[in-house]
Structure 1
Amino acid sequence: MKILSIHISTPENNAEWWRISNIAKIMEEAGHDVDLVHYCGKSKYENFKEKNDFPNDKFIITSQFGVYFKHLKILKENKYDLVYANTGAGAFCSLSGKLTKVPLVFDMHGDLLQELFLRYGNSVNSKLLANYLLFKTMEYANLKASNEIICVSNRMIDYLHTNKGVSLDKMDYVTNGVDLEFFSQRNDKTHELKQDLDLEEKLIFGYVGGFQSWQGIDNLINSILTIEDDEIAFLIVGGQEKHDNTAKNNLFFIPTIKRHEVPDYYSLCDVLMLPRPSHLATEMAAPTKFAEYTSMGKPVLTSNVGDAADLVNKYNSGIVVENNSVDNMVNGINQFKNITPIKLKKMGKNSRKLAENEFDWNLVGKNLLKSLEKTQNNK
């Protein structure tokens, strides 16, 4: 098939882009002819310094309204068999293509509306209301117009079917995958890092990732600050700036690191943490970091949110606490401290098995290609 893959904005070093690029790679390796097109504003494109790193991608400079005309023009000038729209924004900007007979596949990374509610919390203002109307319109149009919806979690499928009336036949499960070879235990730098941070002979709990509201970092830090135990240390990686380390609580902040360094810091930890708050947005999401955690063969401490909690329970690969409250996170940390090294090692092996069974990109790719074939056959 000749496939037009749509991305809004320019590539960024984040989980969203990693999924988009990996999905395009899977389609290409299966023999499909894929054009990865980025619709972006003029200033965004001009400020993008890594253009030369994407020689095979196409960057289309357009406006918020002009994108619909440019998208339709691209479809008319090229004989595409399918449009693959990445994220809700990508799907919404592809709706003009419904004037042709080219099927639209919507890769729904997450729920924009629920993420909006989580971001604003109880705050109500004009910006929230404006975004609510826009996202509500996008949600309705995307769900109705798409020929197929790619869902990253089973919880997302259940929610869309039960609450939005989307047919199960219209949805397919294609979660976030992981490179099992890249994300595996590395011992070459572990000893050096432990010495540098003075972490020898400690049980190390780690978090690697962003600090957005849906990550639950504030509660995690507040939990850590209540613990005074010289046998435990906490490593939080991914902040924009280096915080003052607090020896009292053995808490270490490491600023944002390069992608290739991530496995080194994962390897340093004995337990990896996923402290997300309970919310519809997090219930439906599929955190890339969870796939990476498990691929590293590390036990996971997670709040009872989404598919991640279900999988940790299924594979006995960690501890699930009721929610990410301070008391619950502290309780989970203490439970891990009381686990024997043998049981901790067993949990780690179970975690790796989880990754191999659920997140291997080869398996994810098979699910994706089956979905595309179904869409093509049903057009």
Structure 2
Amino acid sequence: MKILHVLDHSLPLHSGYSFRTRALIEGQKRRGWTPVMMTTPRHRQGGPNPEHVDGLTFHRAPSPGPLPLLGEIRATRRKAAELIAAEKPDIVHCHSPVLTFLGARGAAQAAGLPIVYEIRAFWEDAAVGNGTGREGDFKFRLTKAMETSACRQADAVGAICNGLIDDLKRRGIAEDKLFTVPNAVDLTQFGTPEPRDEALAARLGFEGAEVIGFLGSFYDYEGLDELIAAMPSIRARRPAARLLLVGGGPMEAALKAQVDALGLSDCVTFTGRVPHADVPRYYSLVDILAYPRKPMRLTELVTPLKPLEAMAQEKLVVASDVGGHKELIEDGVTGTLFKAGNPQAAATAVSDLLAERESWPQRIQTAKRWVAEARNWDRTVANYAPVYERLIDRRRS
């Protein structure tokens, strides 16, 4: 079975999107399938075409020229048609946002191929989450209509979690063409945590500290301002507590200003972005990984990848009770949930867990066992098999 995957962007760019893609593609290869990968013009990092990264080959649609959206769609369609003619795939599989589908749809239809559309987040919600859109405005409604239309036209529609599937049902998408392909973790990459990096701990002044950490992008919806606001209460109960923020993003300057205004510079450490290879060193210092996401459509509907990685790394997880977290975390069993949007609730959850060190080993092992059994990539990739087979059988008949 050969599948043409149409992607927004890919490696060598580092993002949750590109890492998920790599895991899915490698899982498909282990099943004996033949994935072919292309990106739309939204992959703007220069490089060879095709580009070979980590044993995978990515074909690139060219720059769209002077008409951004229309040009992207046309460039994607031409590249998809070229690869369909050369590779003779059985399925065209588009991964959100909707521009991938709009570009590849015509090429797939011309070749008589079934087309799958897989949603990792709705484009309109992602725009609100990263600060480039507002919920309910014209752009939001237009984008939502485009996503809904794509789902109606696709032969099958996948989504990474139940929150998205439920929203699609409310939009009137036929239930019999919906399927889930949940986020997962590669335990060969995350399942063997590194020992505590004492040299790094000394450099950061973390000897004897109880470290609460966040590693990722600093978007407003992540709620890091509320985690910082919780630190005075946490410190009142746990004087050795320190907050480690690894990464960067649009909220970085505001977060640093908040730390200065609250007089927390002695207990909040910003590292900036670090090389991907060094991320495990910072993980090794953290006792509790915190995910204080704010309540909004994006966080209520979409499950993040980071808490799963934290569980695989044998780290305690504390998170807000938005819908995306509740799909991943069983409160008191695999992690701790607190009321979203409530810094005091976050402070209580973190402080209580720091005071219950005797419960840590059992919780850590329970969470890691759940990830290993229920959220591994081979299990996720297996969800494609009946969908692909049904669409190919329908085409043949």
* TM-score under structure 2 length normalisation: 0.84
1:236-260 C-alpha deviation (Å, 9 max, x unpaired): 1112679699766521111112222
Give the whole-Å Cα distance in 2 for the aligned partners of 1:329 and 1:310: 19
Contact 2:133 2:140 survives alignment (8 Å): no
Match of residue 68 from structure 2: none
How does 1:318-333 map onto structure 2 within 5 Å?
318-333=335-350
Match 2:115 to one of 90, 101, 104: 104
Q: 1:156 to 1:248 in 2, by over 3 A?
A: same
Local SS of the residue matching 1:277? coil
Q: CA deviation at 1:196?
A: 2.1
Q: Does 1:357 align with 2:373?
A: yes
Is the 2:303–2:325 contact (alpha carbons within 8 Å) kept by the matching residues of 1? yes
Does the 8 A contact of 1:10 with 1:48 survive in 2?
Answer: no
Q: Deviations over 1:263-322 (max 9, x none)?
A: 222221111111111112112212111110111122211101124324322671221112
Q: CA deviation at 1:181?
A: 2.5
Matched, 1:29 2:39: no
Q: Look up the equivalent residue of 2:128 and give its one-letter code.
A: F
Matches of 2:247 and 2:377 in 1, distance apart?
25
* CA 301–74 in structure 1, closer or farther in 2 if over 3 Å, else same: same
Q: Which moved more, 1:110-119 or 1:206-215?
A: 110-119
Residues 160 and 180, structure 2, Cα contact 8 Å, conserved in 1: yes
The answer as to 2:235 corresponding to 1:192 is: no
Q: Which moved more, 1:139-148 or 1:245-254?
A: 245-254
- Aligned residue-pair number: 373
* Residue pairs, 1:267-278, within 5 angstroms: 267-278=284-295
Distance 1:68 1:36, change over 3 A: closer
Task: Assess if the C-alpha contact under 8 Å between 2:212 and 2:287 holds in 1.
Answer: yes
How far off is 1:110 after superposition?
Answer: 0.7
The alpha-carbon distance between structure 1 residues 217 and 48, as it changes in their structure 2 partners (threshold 3 A), is farther
Q: Deviations over 1:138-196 (max 9, x none)?
A: 212211111111211122222211x1122332121111121113213534443222222
Cα distance between partner residues in 2 of 1:49 and 1:256: 28
Name the counterpart of 2:275. Answer: 258
* Equivalent AA in structure 2 for residue 156 of structure 1: L
What is the CA distance between 1:218 and its match in structure 2?
2.1
> Helix, strand or coil: the match of 2:380?
helix
8 A Cα contact 1:224 1:249, kept in partner: no
Measured in 2, the distance between the counterparts of 1:352 and 1:366 equals: 21
Structure 1 position 206, deviation (Å): 0.9
Equivalent position amino acid for 2:40 in 1: Y
CA apart distance, 1:32: 1.9
Distance 1:271 1:83, change over 3 A: same
- CA displacement, residues 200-255 of structure 1 (integer Å, 9 cap, x when unaligned): 32221111111122222222222225543422111111126796997665211111
What TM-score results when the alignment is normalised by the length of structure 1?
A: 0.87
Percent identity reads 19
Q: Is the 8 A contact 2:76 2:100 kept in 1?
A: no
Q: Flag structure 1 segments of 5+ consecutive residues without an equivalent.
A: none
Cα-Cα RMSD: 3.0
Q: Which amino acid aligns with 1:153?
A: C
Contact 2:73 2:102 in 1 (8 A): no
Q: How is 1:1-379 mapped onto 2 (pairs within 5 angstroms)?
A: 1-9=1-9, 11=11, 12-40=13-41, 44=44, 46=46, 51=51, 53=53, 56-63=57-64, 64-67=72-75, 69-70=77-78, 71-76=80-85, 78-88=87-97, 89-96=99-106, 97-120=108-131, 129=138, 131-132=139-140, 134-161=142-169, 163-225=170-232, 227-228=234-235, 229-239=238-248, 250-313=267-330, 316-339=333-356, 341-379=357-395
Post-superposition shift, 1:50? 11
Q: Secondary structure at the residue paired with 2:330?
A: helix
Residue 309 of structure 1 aligns with an amino acid whose one-letter code is K
